[in-house]
């Protein structure tokens, strides 16, 4: 019986690497799948990992209907045994519902990968719906670490090393952006340092911050 499975964790815990490995494993056993992604760090229509591996994928826009896409492929003679859906936190609630319908009515396995919460510690729409609907939810065991060495549990958005708590939910960046570039980046922090807005850059210069929640 087909299943909808959701693999989740913080940034830098190997979600996209596992997505690529999942596709490879199923293809090596003769199964045929489709890969999807959204707002990947490597650009549009690419599924990439921080280990340097990448492969072409179908870009998921807000208007993409997974059900119509799959049914159209099957109607025209295509074979689809599974879907690998990376960056699933960016999918809409309706799109996740469509993935569940594909699993139930077309017997196609769906493997979704995504972050649970945004930089404000709030659930992403797609992730919330996946938790509600998935047959199985797996928290990845490769733990990302805060700069202090503690387990990283919260995703922080930074601007030139300083943590920010306001702005658009979806802003593509990367934890590996050059330190001197005026760009938005992301960093994994433990809860204590997320609360105190203590990024690695702030800690390096000995900055102090009140012990308060950085969000309302």
Give catalytic residues, as residue numbers: 87
In whole angstroms, give the CA distance from residue 123 to residue 115: 9
DSSP the chain: ---EEEEE-STTSSHHHHHHHHHHHHHHTT--EEEEESS-TT-TTEEE-TTS-EEE-EE--TT--HHHHHHHHHHTT---SEEEE-SGGGS-HHHHHHHHHHHHHH--EEEEEE-SB-TTS-B-HHHHHHHHH-SEEEE-SS--B-TTSSBP-EEEEEETTEEE--S-S-----TTS-TTS--EEEEEE-HHHHHTT--HHHHHTT----SS-S--
């Amino acid at each position: 019986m087909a299943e909808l499975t959701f693999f989740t964790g913080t940034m830098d815990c190997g979600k996209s690497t596992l997505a690529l490995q999942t596709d490879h494993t199923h293809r090596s056993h003769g199964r045929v799948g489709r890969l999807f992604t959204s707002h990947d760090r490597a650009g549009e229509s690419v599924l990439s990992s921080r280990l340097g591996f990448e492969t072409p994928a179908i870009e998921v826009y807000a208007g993409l209907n997974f059900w119509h896409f799959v049914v159209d492929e099957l109607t025209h003679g295509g074979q689809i045994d599974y879907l690998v859906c990376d960056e699933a936190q960016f999918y809409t609630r309706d799109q996740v519902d469509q993935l569940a319908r594909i699993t139930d009515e077309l017997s196609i396995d769906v493997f979704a990968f995504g972050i649970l919460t945004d930089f404000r510690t709030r659930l992403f729409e797609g992730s919330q719906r996946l938790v509600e609907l998935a047959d199985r939810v797996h928290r990845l065991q490769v733990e990302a670490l805060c700069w202090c060495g503690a387990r990283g549990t919260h995703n922080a958005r930074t601007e030139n090393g300083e943590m920010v708590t306001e702005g658009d939910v979806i802003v593509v960046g990367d934890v590996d952006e050059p330190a001197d570039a005026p760009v938005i980046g992301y960093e994994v922090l433990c809860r204590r340092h997320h609360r105190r807005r203590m990024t690695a850059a702030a800690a390096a210069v000995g900055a102090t911050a009140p012990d308060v929640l950085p969000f309302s």
